[in-house]
Structure 1
Amino acid sequence: MLSLQDVNARLPLVRSIVRDVMGLHRDLSERRGRLRELRERYPAPGVSQAGRTAGTAGTGSLMSGVGRVGPAVYEQEVVQMESELARDETRMAEYARELSSIGGSLADAGLGQVDFNGQLSGEQVVLSWQFDEPEVMYCRTGLRHGGERRLLMQAAGSGDLGAGGVSEFGQSC
């Protein structure tokens, strides 16, 4: 279990990883969309459409709808895109493992949210940080990742835990 101070001390490294995660997530989302469009327009060889076979690999053409033929170069592009997507999805998993090795769990790649199993005033909590936040200011409801984020501190922007580390905390998680 990490303390709030432990997590905040790790944020410079977490920020760096999450910056890369968010960029890769945006890129993957865009490329998945383009790939889906290409696959709809130019289905893979051997796919039956309305009783017709689109052909076999090596015929030099793909069906792109009934009676229309598109160049095989689209299939080569799709195969290359799929390969690059797989490589980058592996890279995303590596980022998630790197966050895990320092105590974090990637909660939302698009928003840059990372959760940490933590301890606050002797209680187990899920501390939640998002990329645009200067420090950990939220926790998740209950002890579950993916639950609602709740503000930790009553005084917004107050990073001071006070003498006992309890007096300024708002809702419990």
Structure 2
Amino acid sequence: MSANSADSARMVDVVLVKGGRTKIRYPAELLQDDGTRVVVRAPFAGGTVRDFGFVRFEPGDVFTEYYWRDRWYAVKELRDPAGALKGWYCDITRPAAVSGAELVVEDLDLDLWRSADGRDVRRLDEDEFEESGLTERDPAAAAAAVAALDLLERLAHEGGFDELLV
């Protein structure tokens, strides 16, 4: 994928891998690829409501997703069908890889949520991360994952992700 005007109409498959297996695959519109950061837009791929208690992912919601080839996270801006911002869901991942029309990302279990108003910032799935065994299998990757989560949490508390998403 390269940055040019034809990219705006291109579709890609986002492939989220976890534990060596595809967790979810969904089509997304490629908005931008500058060689480092890839931006896609996709409707919520879950089909049915996912209520996390602090946010609901619902049919009709739209994600604008930001992935990097050189960073250990993805930032996903979530809007309702009317375009109102719900917040940002951040996945801690290995750097994204692009292969043909696929954007492949390995999920490392850690996540972060920041509500639209910035009052609710929460680290998620730290128990899953510990249970994954990554710390023992790949200590360097585990350290990079924790550092990425710490960075995103700091940015979330300091006003958000604008500097990452412009």
How does the TM-score come out when normalised to structure 1?
A: 0.22
Structure with greater helix share of residues: 1
Asked which structure has the greater CA Rg, the reply is 1
How does the TM-score come out when normalised to structure 2?
A: 0.23
Q: Which structure carries more relative contact order (alpha carbon 8 Å, separation 6+)? A: 1
